[in-house]
């Protein structure tokens, strides 16, 4: 039975190493996921700003343009977007939907 102590110790060390390796992989995965969310959020923010500038300059926004901005804004907001883009999205709601308005 003198072998039981070293075997249990070795088993515990292996178990701890496996748990630590899994935790490290999970941290890397989470970091990558956060980077992906941040990147998509930045792209959406950029596109909403571009759309705002484009349609505000034109003085009107077609229905499909507004639908696209609203879809982007919804995704942006669900990813944790801030109030600056909300102001731009609200501003686009004030832009007429055709040239005659």
Percentage of the chain lying above the pLDDT 90 cut: 70
Mean of the pLDDT values across residues 9-36? 93
Closest C-alpha among 57, 65, 61 to residue 99: 61
Checking if the pLDDT of 32 tops 80, the result is: yes
Phi/psi for 68 (5° steps) reads -65, -45
For residue 41, the tally of other CB atoms under 10 A from its CB is: 19
Residue 55 parent element (H or E): helix 4-58
Checking if the pLDDT of 97 tops 90, the result is: no
Residue 5 banded pLDDT, cuts 50, 70, 90? confident
Look up the pTM and report it: 0.73
* Confidence (pLDDT) at 92: 87
**For residues 59 and 101, is the Cβ–Cβ distance under 8 A?**
no
Percentage of the chain lying above the pLDDT 70 cut: 97
């Amino acid at each position: 039975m003198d072998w039981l102590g070293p075997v249990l110790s070795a088993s515990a060390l292996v178990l701890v190493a496996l748990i630590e390796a899994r935790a490290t992989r999970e941290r890397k995965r989470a970091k990558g996921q956060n980077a992906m969310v941040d990147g998509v959020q930045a792209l959406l923010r950029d596109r909403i700003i571009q759309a705002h500038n484009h349609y505000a300059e034109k003085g009107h926004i077609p229905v499909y343009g507004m639908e696209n901005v609203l879809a982007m804004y919804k995704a942006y907001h669900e990813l944790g977007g801030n109030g600056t883009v909300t102001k731009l999205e609200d501003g686009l709601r004030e832009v007429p939907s055709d040239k005659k308005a």
